[in-house]
A = this chain, B = another copy of it.
């Protein structure tokens, strides 16, 4: 293990490669195009690891991130976020050289794009399959038709298909729940396919969430999967059942700076600027991370009974049984599995592999 003097996001490359391999095989087995979401790792280096598994189409969550990956040779990128017309100059720059797909969910946005874009571009219609964050209500046929009609008004646009993110799967805590959400979402997407396939024989049905893609086996009627979080997984995914704790490929290393045995607490250097502030409700308590023991070669995933109880800007408060708290000393370095690896990786802005190699990543402001 590399020496750590301040909070560092450790990355176990072997676990990460296994996660990629497992999902790539699953996509292949189901005859799906694999378009992994790169918003989780946001790194050129880690992106390259996917190439060995035959990946050449990717998903990102912003145009800036698309630009970052285009700079590393990715030529087929879907921005899985409602198109932001204010960035039309960047869209034009990108679409001049790569295959760029955007998401639309209203005729107004398609019009605004038509007025501003120069180069051919692919458009997916974003469908709300039950998450209710954004996307078109699939039963609103008038809206769907008017969007498709608007798309057909310009030769620059090619309608690519329907895309959804069943993000409500993150609330599932059993395979049954997950299966119900996935089945409902698939039925919605298949209906759309049936309704529009005659008119658009090449339309793509694209689905995305890591829990469904990790756990379930039936993807019939879909053409593409776009999971992202699976590359690292995290404590939330173990709670959902998407992975085992042993599959989590990132772990924060945090020095212990204070002990408060009278209230069974420790303080680590590692706060919301390092972890972000997502939490997970576990048996009625909010947790912000789970403590594991660091080892020579990485970390031991056997449970320690210690967890992150709260976070302020730089402080992490660890809580647990008296004996476990007593066994930790000031100056020890604890491993902490993050609750939400995407946000933790975003905060940290860099990885340190368990072999001691630093890996940089995308920056919102380069």
Contacts and interface: CB of A to CB of B under 8 A. Distances in A.
B39 A86 contact: no
Contacts of A360: 365
11 contacts: A5-B86, A6-B64, A61-B313, A81-B314, A82-B269, A86-B255, A109-B258, A133-B317, A273-B343, A276-B276, A349-B364
A216 interface: no
A106 B349 contact: no
A51 interface: no
Contacts of A146: none
A330 interface: yes
A190 to B, nearest CB: 24
A119 interface: no
A348 B364 contact: yes
Interface in A319-353: 329-331, 333, 342-343, 346-350
A114 interface: no
A349 B365 contact: yes
A331 B112 contact: yes
Contact of A112 (B81, B269, B274, B330): B330
A87 interface: yes
